[in-house]
Amino acid sequence: MNLSYLYTRRMLKNISNRKSFVTLVILLGIVVLISFTITFAPLTPPTEASLRRLAESYFNVPVNKYSIALAFFAIEFPPLIALFASFIVATIPQKVILYERSSGNMEILLSAYSDMRKIAQALMFSSLIVAGIIYLIFMLTGVVTILTYELIHDNFFTFPSVFYMFLFVLDPILIVLAVSIALLATITFTTLSSIETYVLSSSPLQIIAFLPSLLIILVITFIPVSPKYLAMYIIPVAVGVLAITLFLAKKTMRRDVLVRK
């Protein structure tokens, strides 16, 4: 059986189990809830100040509940989607490698495939496919949420180009970056990952994996930088980091890491 197909099925099965599915539904629900309550729910002072600043300085519109909603959907909504999606995909490589080791399947695979590159490529390829699927789920939920908000309030937004750059370019890069960082960290820092402890609870690796999305949200919230310039610089940087992590993950994957000592 094709290794990429096998790992993709394992990863999708892992996401569809009860615990992971409930987590996915809860995070999607939070996205929808925040979106529908953005015009009247109390905001943290930094978030409110950031949205007001964006409405006034970037969109050049009077500050009201709809301009606040426009600033949120156009600038802060896409990184929020990337953050939640990254949380879902962060443990995928970790749990699959753990399952392969604990079940004894990894020893069988290593005896059948002497070339470690094939296993590494299959793990990376499958992780990227599943990350893409999770991105599509969150992206479509986001688009439907925005359209529903517009219909409910009879107020249709004209989004700037930076919104489309964030949602359709930066978001998938950040989500794929999260899963590649998780894969690299899982096979590199074995003492920190649950590969060694066989514990599936949250670990420092999960936080590291979605840190890029969190950092972008913090930059948008606390630093008065133009979203357009932020997108121009952050996208190539994210692509560069992604390429480096994928390269390192492939190079550092060793037989002694993948099998129980």
User: Residue range 61-77: average pLDDT?
Assistant: 90
The three-class DSSP label of residue 222 is helix
Among 19, 6, 177, which Cα is nearest to 89's? 177
pLDDT of residue 231: 82
Confidence of residue 143 (pLDDT cuts 50, 70, 90): very high
Mean per-residue pLDDT, 119-136: 86
pLDDT > 90? residue 17: no
Residue percentage of the chain with pLDDT more than 90: 23
- pLDDT reported for residue 18: 84
Q: What's the predicted TM-score (pTM) here?
A: 0.84
pLDDT of residue 192: 55
- Residue 159, both tokens: 């989004």
> What pLDDT score does 245 carry?
81
DSSP 8-state assignment for residue 59: S
Give me the pLDDT at residue 185, please: 77
- 24: nearest Cα among 37, 38, 12: 12
Decide if pLDDT at 21 tops 60.
yes
Q: What domain range includes position 217?
A: 3-258
Nearest to residue 44, comparing CAs of 217, 216, 215?
217
pLDDT over 70 percentage in the chain: 87
Summarize pLDDT for 70-122 with one digit per residue, the tens: 999 999 999 999 999 988 888 787 778 777 777 777 677 777 766 666 777 78
> Band of the pLDDT at 200, cuts 50, 70, 90?
very low
Give pLDDT, residue 195. Answer: 46
- In angstroms, the Cα distances linking 120 to 45, 91, 133, 173 are 45, 17, 20, 20
Give tens-digit pLDDT for 37-47.
Answer: 998 888 888 88
Which of 209, 192, 194, 220 lies closest to 245 in space, CA to CA? 209
Would you say 51 and 59 are in contact if contact means Cβ atoms under 8 Å apart?
Answer: no
- What pLDDT is attached to residue 258? 61
Alpha helix locations (H) across 61-203? 65-71, 77-89, 92-103, 105-112, 116-153, 161-165, 171-188, 194-197
Query: What pLDDT is recorded for position 149?
Result: 93
Query: Which position has the higher pLDDT, 181 or 52?
Result: 52
Domain count, the chain: 1
